[in-house]
Amino acid sequence: MDKFRIKGGKALRGTVAISGAKNSALPAMAAALLTAEPVALHNVPKVRDLITMAKLLACMSATVSVTDLPSSDYVIEAKTLNHAVAPYELVKTMRASILTLGPAVARAGVAHVSLPGGCAIGARPVDLHLKALEQMGAEIATEHGYIEARARRGRLKGAHIVFERITVTGTENILMAATLAEGETILENAAREPEVTDLVALLRKMGAQIEGDGTSTLRIRGVEKLHGAEHTVIPDRIEAGTFLVAGAITGGDLTIKNCAPEHLGAVIAKLEQAGVPMETVNKTTLRVRGAKKLVGSYMTTEEFPGFATDMQAQYMALATQAEGTSAITETIFENRYLHASEMVRMGANISVDGRKAVVRGPARLSGTTVQASDLRASAGLVLAGLVASGETIIERVYHIDRGYEGIVEKLRAVGADIERVHAPSEYAA
Ligand code: UD1
């Protein structure tokens, strides 16, 4: 298993280009199952989760071709969809595999997707996805660890669905399913994340009839067939936010290009509140500099447009360097503070009580060996390593490879002392 070795204390300076959003590319790839014609996607980041999704689509009899110029361009063609089975071996490595269920059952009338199982950041059930599909006339059975969804009379029916709580992939799954259902579907309490809006944009290019994107009520009028399309994935707002914190926490001066500042409102506001000088250079570029003095503040994770839970670990790394008390409340996932105990091992003063964490700073962090527990926790630990004295070793970085394109190369290019260590195979577990 690979590790990262970081020697902290370097101020990051220069320009970083942001890649396409993993969480937009995932549903966009799944959407290709809705049509027999090719769907071409540009700006797909080169990260492990998208390779997993490509393999998954191939298992479901789609042809996936990837061109490497200069960011990844994917062409997905699902001419037939006879064996819509998403196997456990792939699903267990990526919960977002559930995104294939909605489009597959809508197109083929039946689909089998392995149950995702638990993951490090809480139970993360898919009950809301399944309940909504049932409302659309799907018969759902779970047997031998697989979900079988079968549309009565072969086609899903439109329905009025009110999500009990906001779910991002749940909204995306049902949105995709509804595009080919008979009649109208109304989704209330839908997620408003930019990745949902990006999916709507792609589906519209494919011929779907959707209204209400960007709001919490989506109306979809089902059509008989969708066609091929070409689409460029939006920039990754979490990667951009991570680099903003990297610039701020190291006392550097970073220009973040190819990003979408309008998707980063809550992060920018919180960084400014902490005393970080921020500048919107133009519509796709932000500049961040180190604060003269970082100050502690409160932060609550929320659905978009609130502060993203996927930025919570990174914010916590920043909070360890801020003067005074930072109170963090995690409202989206239970058990999403696994990085806190690792930061404490590096010298941070953090106490966690259920969904609340209190960080007292500034703390002098010192490097040690820490374990990454999930994708965003790993990013938080990298940030902590960038300011820690001495050497930080981060183990289990396969988590970060799931979602950050070339993070080592990008950080090195702006002056970080970080390298990937390919560990001998006896450490593999
Ligand atoms: C997506 C993102 C993930 C992000 C999360 C919240 C992708 C691929 N992943 O995950 O990076 O952290 O949104 O912004 O886009 N829930 C249920 N039942 C369900 C579905 C969800 O109880 O059927 C709960 C979850 O356990 C969680 C909350 O709802 O507590 C929100 O989860 P959800 O928005 O569904 O997260 P994901 O779509 O899995």
The least confident of 49-63, 169-183, 323-337 is: 49-63
Alpha-carbon distance of 182 to 151, in angstroms, equals: 11
Spacing, Cα 91 to ligand 1 middle (Å): 16
The least confident of 55-64, 133-142, 181-190, 335-344 is: 55-64
Taking a C-beta distance cutoff of 8 angstroms, is the pair 106, 34 a contact?
Answer: yes
pLDDT at 427: 43
Q: Is the minimum distance from the CB of 127 to ligand 1 under 6 angstroms?
A: yes
Beta carbons within 8 Å of 32's beta carbon, 6+ residues apart: 38, 39, 41, 57, 62, 76, 77, 78
Spacing, Cα 427 to ligand 1 middle (Å): 32
119 is catalytic: yes
Q: Is the minimum distance from the CB of 126 to ligand 1 under 6 angstroms?
A: yes
pLDDT surpassing 60 at residue 119: no
Q: Is the minimum distance from the CB of 196 to ligand 1 under 6 angstroms?
A: no
pLDDT tens-digit readout, 297-318: 999 999 999 999 999 999 999 9
Q: Which atom of ligand 1 is nearest to the CA of 99?
A: 8
pLDDT at 190: 98
Identify which of 166, 167, 187 to mutate to test ligand 1's pocket (most ligand atoms within 8 A of the CB): 167
pLDDT tens-digit readout, 236-284: 999 999 999 999 999 999 999 999 999 999 999 999 999 999 999 999 9
Instruction: Return the higher-pLDDT residue of 198 and 81.
Output: 198
Spacing, Cα 39 to ligand 1 middle (Å): 26
pLDDT surpassing 60 at residue 68: no
pLDDT at 1: 86
Tokens in use for 172? 């995306």
Which residue among 51, 115, 119, 295 is the active-site one?
119
Average pLDDT, integer, range 356-381: 95
For residue 123, what pLDDT band results from cuts at 50, 70 and 90?
low
Q: Is the minimum distance from the CB of 23 to ligand 1 under 6 angstroms?
A: yes
Spacing, Cα 11 to ligand 1 middle (Å): 35
Residue 58's φ and ψ, nearest 5 degrees, are -65, -40
Q: Is the minimum distance from the CB of 124 to ligand 1 under 6 angstroms?
A: yes
- What is the number of residues in the chain? 429
Identify which of 93, 169, 376 to mutate to test ligand 1's pocket (most ligand atoms within 8 A of the CB): 169
Alpha-carbon distance of 272 to 14, in angstroms, equals: 20
Positive or negative: CA dihedral 202, 304, 396, 392 = positive
Spacing, Cα 195 to ligand 1 middle (Å): 13
pLDDT at 83: 66
Beta carbons within 8 Å of 30's beta carbon, 6+ residues apart: 53, 57, 99, 100, 102, 103, 172, 176
Q: Is the minimum distance from the CB of 130 to ligand 1 under 6 angstroms?
A: no
Taking a C-beta distance cutoff of 8 angstroms, is the pair 29, 41 a contact?
Answer: yes
Q: Is the minimum distance from the CB of 332 to ligand 1 under 6 angstroms?
A: yes
For residue 232, the Cα-to-chain-centroid distance in whole angstroms is 17
Whole-prediction pTM value? 0.96
